[in-house]
Structures are given as structure tokens and as C-alpha cells.
A and B are shown apart, each in its own frame.
Chain A
Amino acid sequence: MKDMMKCEFPAKSVNEGFARVVVSAFASRLDPTVEELAEIKTAVSEAVTNVIIHGYQGGEGIIYIECEIKEKNLIVKISDKGAGIENVQLARTPLYTSNPDGERSGMGFTVMETFMDELEVKSLPGVGTTIIMKKQISSQEDEASE
């Protein structure tokens, strides 16, 4: 049977912390280091913040999270049924922000790419966005036995 979990919750900024906690709790069975756990939390935080600010543009909507563990890999899928991204390539460009007046850095996707091993972004304007991130966890037990 697949080792996975699913959850969904309203796109409210107060749930950014909740999203980080559920994903990191699920990932903890892979015995990640403190640093790996912080990296996973940061990537999840970026993805969920994107959904709230850009996907649903501060309005109502649901964030869907699915996680899976495959051997030593954590796979995190975060989806929304929001505005979608017109130009994914442009959105992924470091420092690109659709809101240059605010204090948004345009580094969200770059941070996800840096902290996770793989990042896939699928988006359809008017339908929604799904991002899939993958990270291999260097189990601490292995390091100790090496």
C-alpha cells in the first residue's frame, strides 16, 4: 500500500504554519536532519503562500496537499483551483514578482528549487495550479553507520 497522506484546508495565511507542520510531521519518519526539515518547511511555506497570494488572490479557496514517501524520497504535491499562472517560465524567474510595489521578493520558486531536489509546476489560467516537489532525505542512521 502507498505510504501517503492527504489534507485540505482554507487558503488563509494562518494556515501557512499548519501546512508546514503537517508536511514536516509526515516527513519526520524518514528521519531528516534539522536542516532538511527546515528546508522542507520553507519550500512548503513558499508554495502555500503562493496559493494564498496569487492563486486565490487573498480571496476564498481550498489548498490541497498530498504527500507520499517512496523509499527515501518525500514527494509533496500542493494544488489549488485558483487563477492559474499565465507564464510559468516567467513566474519561475528569480526576482520576478507580479507585485513589485509590495515587499514581495519574487524568490518563492527559486527557494523551492534550491531546497528541494525537483520542482514541477503545472498550471492552467482560470483552472488552477499544481506544484510537485521531491526531496531525497539522507537518513541520519545511514550517516551514523558510514
Chain B
Amino acid sequence: MKWDFERKKNLLVAKIFGEVDHHFAGALREEIDRQVINSGAKGLILDFSGVDMMDSSGIGIIMGRCRLMESMGGHLCVTGANEPIRKIILLSGLGKLVGVCDSIEKAEKILNTTNEIA
């Protein structure tokens, strides 16, 4: 698994690549948290368009980052998830807590609107 970060004004995009599992979960979590805290971003986008497979370790990653963003007064969107990953997000009830969008552009719009209202 690999990851890459991109800053878009007050949003942070974490692009994840490969297979998300328990082995890499700890390192990915720590890196996202570090980037979020250092950047002070008000919105976080977790982009899964480069992810072939995610097991339930990914639920913990998304849920934990959702809590982190809430604690900082921000929000989280998940983008580019394939069908099995979307199924896992729905199964876990995460769909009610985070925005799930097809593209980063859509997520940006949602997060920017949410921030303006807030």
C-alpha cells in the first residue's frame, strides 16, 4: 500500500493506492493524522480510486479519521471506492457518518459548502 497527500486550500486529499489491510493500517493512520494536524485542514478527502481491496481494517481508519475531523470542527468525505469497498462502508453504517462521492471534485464541493455554512 502507498499513499500521497495533496493540499487544496483548506482541504487535504489523501490518495491511497493498493490494498488496505491490517498490516499497513497503523502506518497509514499515523501519517494521515500527522498531515491533518500539521495542515490544520478543515476537510479531509480519503481517495480510494487507486485501491483494489479494503478489508474491515479500513472501517477503523475511516471511522477514526472521521472522529479526528469532528474534533477539529471539520468533515470527511470518501471518494472513488469500488463496489466491494462501498459495500463494506454501507455494512458498517459508516455511510451515515461520512460523505461518499464518486470523484474528488464532488467531495471538494460538498466540503467547501459545509465549511461555508459552518
Contacts and interface: CB of A to CB of B under 8 A. Distances in A.
Interface of A: 13-14, 16-17, 20, 35, 38-39, 41-42, 45-46, 49, 52-53, 94-95, 102-105, 107-108, 110-111, 114-115
B63 A35 contact: no
A89 to B, nearest CB: 19
Contacts of B82: 35, 38
Contact of B23 (A14, A39, A41, A104): A14
A37 to B, nearest CB: 9
Given A103-B25, A103-B61, A104-B60, A46 B55 contact: yes
**A45, A104, A110, A114: residue with the most chain B Cβ atoms closer than 10 Å:** A45
B83 interface: yes
Given A38-B52, A42-B55, A111 B88 contact: yes
A13 B23 CA distance: 5
Contact of B84 (A53, A95, A108, A115): A115
B117 interface: no
A105 B22 contact: no
Interface in B26-68: 29, 52-57, 59-61, 63-64
Interface in B71-89: 82-84, 87-88
A109 B7 CA distance: 37
A105 B56 contact: yes
A15 to B, nearest CB: 8
Contacts of B19: 17, 20, 41, 45
Contact of B53 (A38, A104, A110): A38
Contacts of A102: 60
